[in-house]
């Protein structure tokens, strides 16, 4: 067990609610004991119907032995296996962390939220079947704890088993979000600018953005401004660009600086969203008549600037025609395309109908180029030019 000197002034400065120290009469600072585990009691051995019955499972625990009484935040993790396994590059984690957190040692789980998580795990284990309604299965639980408002006091409880949990139909009343934003240390004004992400054409709840991150930069995301969501809200990370993503106080930290395509998927999961965050290399392409190729061709890929204020520059175009540009991710190119409105402002297709070309939206959206010309794009300013 680690011991850390825990200054009272630091507690006050950070807003951490210290209620009592180990001794009532002492002039020195209390010592934080880093308790690696704590006790979660076994719940009552009943049949819990998470469907029509909406039965509530109550978990009771003993606060981690920090050496003093401190406000503590608990998260609930559930699994169909007694051994909780974290995600790897090849496999998903075999447990789910419920979105609701608790500050009491008596935790009444929300039946609908728990049902959604367990059904998701059941489908993960039984990919060939959808007949989950009415299934009775054992479910395993554990808690994680942190001192409220900090990253201190991290502790994981023992695992307990509920032998009979009956699954119900997952019913959702929410829809995929229509907007998504990024905010962080190197996005516009530090931690103040909420950068709007681009909707992916025809794929509800999917968004992308071209972003420059300083080395060690941190960020969060939200469905609207001031909707602070961080690392713990992401169910799956796909770092396809070697950015080095990690958790930093629930901020998402980017180890390697540079330009990246940030791609976020918000999938409805019961009454909440399940997020997948992907990072792609900042590859931008010209396609179509001006290069004689409607496929991704590295010969017509833009150069990438080294700094935040630099421009992406295309190779020289080879023919006269309407310019078609897009980024590259794991979906159709036309879902990710954009143009230069009035030849100067980056305009994203999103869910606009561009069936025969950009003139479908108006002449000002169509950019016509000649052989030998190049396109410059400044994603920081949202501008571009054809020269």
The domain tally of the chain equals 3
In a domain? residue 258:
yes
For the ranges 70-74, 95-99, 325-329, the maximum mean pLDDT occurs at: 325-329
Pair 300, 261 in one domain: no
Query: What number is the average pLDDT over the span 331-352?
Result: 98
Six token digits for residue 219: 């960020």
Six token digits for residue 248: 């930093």
Pair 152, 43 in one domain: yes
- The predicted pLDDT at position 7 comes to 44
Domain extent at residue 353: 284-386
**What does the CA dihedral 284, 288, 291, 294 come to, rounded to 10 degrees?**
80
What distances in angstroms separate CA 142 from CA 82, 91, 161, 281, one per listed residue?
10, 21, 9, 37
Residue 369, phi-psi category: left (phi > 0), alpha (psi -120 to 50), beta (remainder): beta
Q: Which of 248, 280, 312 lies at the terminal end of a domain, its last residue?
A: 280
**What does the CA dihedral 305, 311, 315, 319 come to, rounded to 10 degrees?**
160
- The predicted pLDDT at position 122 comes to 94
- Return the CATH number at 276: 2.60.40.3620
Pair 86, 199 in one domain: no
Predicted model pTM: 0.68
Q: Which of 109, 138, 166 lies at the terminal end of a domain, its last residue?
A: 166
Give the position of tokens 């796909």.
238
Pair 76, 131 in one domain: yes
Six token digits for residue 360: 């479908």
Pair 303, 271 in one domain: no
Pair 137, 98 in one domain: yes
Query: What number is the average pLDDT over the span 328-346?
Result: 98
To the nearest whole number, what is the mean pLDDT of the chain?
91
Six token digits for residue 197: 């992400």
pLDDT tens readout for residues 167-208: 999 887 789 999 999 999 999 999 999 999 999 999 999 999
Q: Is the pLDDT of residue 8 over 50?
A: no
Q: Is the pLDDT of residue 26 over 50?
A: no
Q: Is the pLDDT of residue 27 over 60?
A: no
- The predicted pLDDT at position 28 comes to 57
- The predicted pLDDT at position 11 comes to 43
Distance CA 108, CA 95 (A): 19
- The predicted pLDDT at position 29 comes to 66
């Amino acid at each position: 067990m680690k011991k850390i000197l825990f200054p009272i002034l630091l507690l006050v400065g950070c807003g951490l609610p210290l209620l009592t120290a180990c001794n009532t009469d002492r002039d020195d600072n209390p010592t934080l004991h880093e308790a690696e585990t704590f006790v979660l009691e076994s719940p009552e051995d009943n049949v819990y119907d998470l469907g029509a019955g909406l039965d509530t499972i109550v978990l009771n625990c003993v606060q981690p032995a920090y050496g003093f009484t401190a406000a503590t935040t608990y998260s609930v993790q559930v699994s169909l296996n007694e051994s909780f396994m974290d995600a790897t590059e090849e496999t998903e984690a075999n447990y789910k962390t419920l979105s609701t957190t608790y500050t009491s040692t008596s935790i009444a789980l929300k039946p609908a939220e728990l049902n959604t998580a367990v059904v998701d795990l059941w489908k993960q284990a039984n990919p060939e079947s959808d007949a989950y309604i009415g299934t009775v299965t054992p479910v395993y639980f554990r808690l994680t704890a942190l001192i409220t408002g900090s990253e201190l006091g991290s502790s994981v409880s023992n695992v307990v088993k509920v032998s009979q949990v009956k699954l119900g139909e997952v019913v959702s009343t929410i829809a995929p979000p229509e907007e998504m934003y990024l905010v962080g240390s190197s996005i516009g004004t530090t931690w103040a600018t909420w950068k709007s992400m681009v909707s992916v054409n025809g794929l509800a709840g999917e968004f992308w953005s071209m972003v420059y991150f300083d080395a060690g930069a941190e960020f969060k995301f939200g469905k609207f401004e001031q909707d602070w969501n961080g690392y713990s809200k992401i169910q799956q990370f796909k770092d396809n660009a070697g950015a080095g993503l990690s958790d930093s106080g629930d901020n998402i930290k980017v180890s390697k600086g540079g330009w990246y395509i940030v791609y976020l998927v918000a999938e409805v999961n019961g009454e909440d969203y399940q997020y997948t965050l992907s990072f792609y290399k900042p590859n931008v392409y010209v396609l179509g008549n001006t290069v004689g190729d409607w496929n991704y061709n590295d010969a017509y890929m833009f150069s990438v600037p080294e700094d935040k204020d630099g421009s992406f520059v295309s190779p020289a175009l080879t023919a006269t025609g309407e310019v078609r540009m897009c980024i590259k991710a794991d979906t159709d190119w036309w879902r990710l395309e954009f143009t230069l409105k009035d030849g100067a402002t980056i305009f994203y297709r999103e869910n606009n109908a561009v069936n025969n070309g950009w003139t479908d939206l108006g002449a000002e959206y169509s950019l016509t180029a000649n052989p030998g010309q190049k396109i410059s794009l400044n994603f920081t300013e949202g501008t571009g030019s054809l020269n």
